[in-house]
Amino acid sequence: MDEKKTVAVVGSGVIGAAIALELQRRGLQVTMIDKGEPGRGTSYGNLASIALDFAAGSGPSTWRKIPRWLLDPEGPVWLRPAYALKVAPWFLRFIAAGRPARLRAIEDAGMSLSNQALADVRAMLGVIGAPELMSDEGCLAIYETEAEFAGDRGHIDFMRRYGLDFDVLSGGDIQAIEPALSPSIAKAVLLPDNKTIRDPYQLVVKLADAARALGATFVSGAVRNVEKTGDGSSVVLLENGERITVGSVVLAAGVHTRFLAEKLGEPIPLETERGYHTQIMRPGVSMRHSVIWPHRAFMITPTAGGIRVGGNVELAGLDAAPDFRRARVLVRHAQRAVPGLKVEEATEWMGHRPSLPDTIPIISPSSKMPGVWYATGHGHLGLTYSATTAQLVADMVTGRKPSVEMAPFRIDRY
Ligand SMILES: Cc1cc2nc3c(=O)[nH]c(=O)nc-3n(C[C@H](O)[C@H](O)[C@H](O)COP(=O)(O)OP(=O)(O)OC[C@H]3O[C@@H](n4cnc5c(N)ncnc54)[C@H](O)[C@@H]3O)c2cc1C
């Protein structure tokens, strides 16, 4: 095959695997490279939600909550004191991105992806022959008190502004559609289009398998750098000394992409927002909807053959050992919302959301090395944006005009 039509995709999480499949479908010869197995990174354990409304930025209303969250040992944000100085520059940029003037542009950009995300995920599931991987039910945002609901008014306004479909429910109407929920839940907002993926890990496995079935190859190894040759090709250098020469390279290594970007001379403020889950295989209740409790910032999701409880943001870097007390706090909160929830046959997990301070991803050509592309920084929304990101990257790599305005996602905004 003409070398120009070959492409290496570094990272086989949900982002890299979706891109690899789409590029292979468009006639390129794809080499997928991962230091582990496809889908065993952050994409393994997310909360399985196609969260279309999550493009809401973090403005002053979020900042106001942060001091309370940080002081509450059961709150949703944890900062390890030893990491505070390291994360400070990222945090200051996060605050700056929430300025009202910037916030609207960020939300417009995020919603340009959200607007097509559900249709793109559905189409991607069709391509891999697994439409059943997405449930028909939406997500319920729950509020224990009227005051909690009133406190989320900004989010309701956001959904109205962007035309997202939702329905406000009260009292018995809530248990009528989700009987497992406690009668103490005063209000709920049903988001019918926030569908749930029945198993996020299996999704990645199936994407990678589908790419291979079309002719993509998989190389196991850690990438340490990318170099340019005299004729314009790129050489992907692996830690084991292997060199793979290709026409184009897509860097989709989740939070680890920051190390590769640094080597290419374009550092990006990619931080890990660590999150936890508890996967309960004998929960003692069944649930149809994903449930999010905005005031406590966590989710309860029927997925992977059981019920998954998770969320949290822990700022502690890549190397600190997991602190599963975070996960247990969330299970206690979940039992308050779902009184019948039992914790039998449960496993705990921690993953690294690849997060940029302005909360929108980098989907962009390199500003330093022609023929290299980035798809990273999807933060809380990598599953949601996976299929859309794959379309956009494939458009850019193959020279087609992408369906959304790509300027907000460029790497050189940093
Ligand atoms: C608790 C939690 C809940 C979440 N819930 C949701 C949700 O409900 N909905 C949603 O949309 N998103 C959710 N997310 C976010 C979502 O999971 C991530 O945005 C997404 O998984 C990121 O995918 P990725 O492919 O970029 O990264 P990853 O899945 O981490 O994949 C990166 C891959 O790159 C490989 N790699 C790294 N470095 C190298 C290297 N040097 N060489 C070769 N390979 C390398 C890794 O082995 C890995 O396989 C959640 C995240 C967490 C933690």
Same domain? For 291 and 262 the reply is no
Give the CA dihedral 392, 121, 119, 193, nearest 10 degrees: -130
Spell out the residues 6+ positions from residue 104 whose beta carbon is closer than 8 angstroms to its own. Answer: none
CA atoms of 59 and 66, how far apart (whole Å): 11
With a cut of 90, say whether residue 3 has pLDDT above it. no
pLDDT at 271 over 90: yes
Regarding whether 31 and 46 lie in a shared domain, the answer is yes
Is residue 388 scored above 80 in pLDDT? yes
Ligand 1 centroid to residue 375 C-alpha, Å: 11
pLDDT at 256: 98
Among 350, 381, 404, the domain boundary falls at 350
**What does the pLDDT look like over 196-207, one tens digit per residue?**
999 999 999 999
Distance of alpha carbon 252 from alpha carbon 264, whole angstroms:
14
Q: Does residue 83 fall inside a structural domain?
A: no
Minimal-distance CA residue to ligand 1 atom 37: 253
- Are 226 and 298 part of one and the same domain? no
Q: What is the pLDDT of residue 345?
A: 98
Confidence at residue 394, expressed as pLDDT on a 0 to 100 scale: 98
Same structural domain, 165 and 255? no
| Same domain, yes or no: 161 and 115 | no
Q: Which atom of ligand 1 approaches the CA of 273 most closely?
A: 53
Residue found under tokens 């859309």: 388
Q: Do 115 and 251 lie in a common domain?
A: yes
All residues at 6 or more sequence positions from 81 whose CB lies less than 8 Å from its CB, including other chains? none
Domain boundary among 313, 334, 350: 350
Helix, strand, coil in percent for the chain, rounding step 5: 40, 25, 35
CATH code, 17: 3.50.50.60
Q: Tell me how many domains the chain contains.
A: 2
Count of CA atoms in the C-beta half-sphere (13 A) of 310: 29
Dist. CA 248 → ligand 1 center (Å): 22
Is 87 part of any domain? no
* 14 alpha carbon – ligand 1 mean position (Å): 7
- What is the CATH number for 338? 3.30.9.10
Residues with CB under 6 A from ligand 1: 10-16, 33-36, 40-43, 46-49, 51, 222-223, 252-254, 256, 275-277, 310-311, 351, 353-354, 376, 378-384
CA of 252, closest atom in ligand 1: 26
At which of 330, 350, 370 does a domain end? 350
Band (2; pLDDT cuts 50, 70, 90) = confident
Domain check: are 386 and 253 in the same one? yes
Domain that holds residue 403: 1-59+97-137+197-270+356-414
HSE, side-chain direction, 13 A CA sphere, residue 284:
10
Statement to judge: residues 386 and 367 lie in one domain: yes
Q: Output the CA 354–ligand 1 centroid distance in Å.
A: 7
Band the pLDDT of 299: cuts 50, 70, 90.
very high
H helix or E strand, kind and range, residue 349: strand 344-355
Instruction: Write the single-letter amino acid at 202.
Output: Q
Mean pLDDT of the chain: 96
CA nearest ligand 1 atom 44, residue: 34
Which residue, 355, 295, 396, 325, is CA-closest to 406?
Answer: 396
Q: What confidence category does residue 56 fall into, taking pLDDT thresholds of 50, 70 and 90? A: confident
